[in-house]
Amino acid sequence: MKQLREGGFLIAKIHHLSGRILAKKIKEYKLKEINPAQGRILFALWQKDGISIQELSKKTSLEKSTLTSMLDRLEKTGYLTRIPSNEDRRKIIIGRTEKDKKLQEVYLQVSREMAELFYMGFTKKEIDEFEVLLGRILENLLSSEKSRI
């Protein structure tokens, strides 16, 4: 009988536990307007400002319908803006605001604290190898999802 692997189960447990810890940290830093999923959207914009909803969907792995409602809330609270594309009138570009730029440093501090917690006791080499392996798992899952569409 084949041995059952626990990777997916462990990733799910890590996801839920880290989400709870992240939510507490967000509360400690008084970032109550932003939840972890919205933070993922803003983090993607911090890496590249002025991207389309489609590109943002790929970067965050959020479905467009989920992303749209989250973008509505972030726009309403002043953390981002929607800008019509100059190249394609059907395309909307998501841009950063001054309010978002002020939030970035605090949110990056929370991210640094989470990374320290994740990698406590790991060597740099172990972290690098682990992230490469996680990237491969993500690619496998993305590839499987695309083949089923």
Three-state SS at 97: coil
Is the torsion defined by CA of 6, 8, 11, 17 positive or negative?
A: negative
Per-residue pLDDT tens digits for 77-134: 999 999 998 888 888 999 999 999 888 888 889 889 999 999 999 999 999 999 999 9
Domain that holds residue 89: 7-118
User: Using CB atoms within 10 A of its CB, is residue 102 exposed (0-12), middle (13-18) or buried (19+)?
Assistant: exposed
Q: Say how far apart CA 67 and CA 41 lie, in whole Å.
A: 8
For residue 149, the model assigns a pLDDT of 58
Let me know if residue 113 belongs to a domain: yes
Q: Which of 125, 71, 122, 123 is nearest to 100 (CA)?
A: 71
Count of the separate structural domains present in the chain: 1
Let me know if residue 24 belongs to a domain: yes
* CATH number of the domain to which 30 belongs: 1.10.10.10
